[in-house]
Amino acid sequence: RKKTAILISGRGSNMGALISAAMSPDYPAEITLVLSNRPDAKGLERAAELGIATAVVDHKDHAGDREAFEKSVDAVLKDHKIDLVALAGFMRILTPYLVNAWAGRMINIHPALLPSFKGLATHERALQEGVKLHGATVHYVSAEMDDGPIIMQGAVPVLDSDTPDTLAARVLNVEHQIYPKALSMVASGKAKVSGARVTGSGNSNETETLI
Ligand code: GAR
């Protein structure tokens, strides 16, 4: 089983979904570390309750020096002999330093159907643009923010009655379904990257069943 670290900044509901999936002994990844850049992240308490090692690398201790912050994160990951990194609501922009160090071994979940709505406030922007389908994307992390080969997507309908909060809740539910599946594909070696594309993730069927 691939030793996997989850990086969080907040409540950690995606972290919880990954931990639950990895409790099954035949799941190809085990969650051996949860690391946060915020000491007060709610997800840290949850992880500790579940008996998972936790670490804090506070970005505020690194006085605006992103690379020094990332060197500290990298050192903790190495200490724990981590094979794979899953970003789950980790709200720091990464520099090429950490991205290159973990190329092909670091994945992220983004609350939109990439390449639409990179960045923040994705649900507000989806409503403003009037899209009828919205969703979430799990992708490999590359040097460009919210870019990198797409591993899996899940789509949801946008309803006339939606507010950013109701839409966020519908998307979050899909996040909790696709992230464990995508991590499993990566950890088992089933997801294969060829150029910008990832094959082997069974993506279209997953999306259909999630609508
Ligand atoms: C999730 O919706 C995740 O997709 C998003 O933050 C939320 C974290 O929730 N990530 C980003 O916006 C990354 N830029 P969680 O802490 O409950 O998993």
The helix (H) or strand (E) run that includes residue 203 is helix 203-210
- Known catalytic residues are 110
Residue to probe by mutation, ligand 1, list 172, 173, 179, most atoms within 8 Å of CB = 172
Q: Is 38 in the pocket of ligand 1 (CB under 6 A)?
A: no
ipTM of the complex: 0.99
At CB < 8 A and 24+ separation, what contacts does 42-45 make? 42/10, 42/11, 42/12, 43/8, 43/10, 43/11, 43/12, 43/13, 43/15, 43/16, 43/88, 43/89, 44/8, 44/12
Residue of minimum CA distance from atom 6 in ligand 1: 89
pLDDT computed for residue 195 by the predictor? 87
- Average confidence (pLDDT) per 10 residues, the chain, 211 residues: 98 98 97 98 98 96 92 98 98 96 98 98 98 98 95 98 98 98 97 91 52 48
pLDDT computed for residue 64 by the predictor? 85
Q: Which ligand 1 atom minimizes the distance to the CA of 13?
A: 17
Q: Is 87 in the pocket of ligand 1 (CB under 6 A)?
A: no
User: How far is the centre of ligand 1, averaged over its atoms, from the C-alpha of 64 (Å)?
Assistant: 23
Strands (E), the chain: 2-8, 29-36, 54-56, 84-87, 106-110, 133-140, 150-157, 192-194, 197-199
Q: Are 163 and 154 in contact (CB under 8 A)?
A: no
Q: Is 206 in the pocket of ligand 1 (CB under 6 A)?
A: no
pLDDT computed for residue 205 by the predictor? 46
pLDDT computed for residue 203 by the predictor? 55
Half-sphere exposure in the Cβ direction for 111 (13 Å, CA): 24
pLDDT computed for residue 98 by the predictor? 97
Q: Is the pTM of this model over 0.80?
A: yes
Q: Is 183 in the pocket of ligand 1 (CB under 6 A)?
A: no
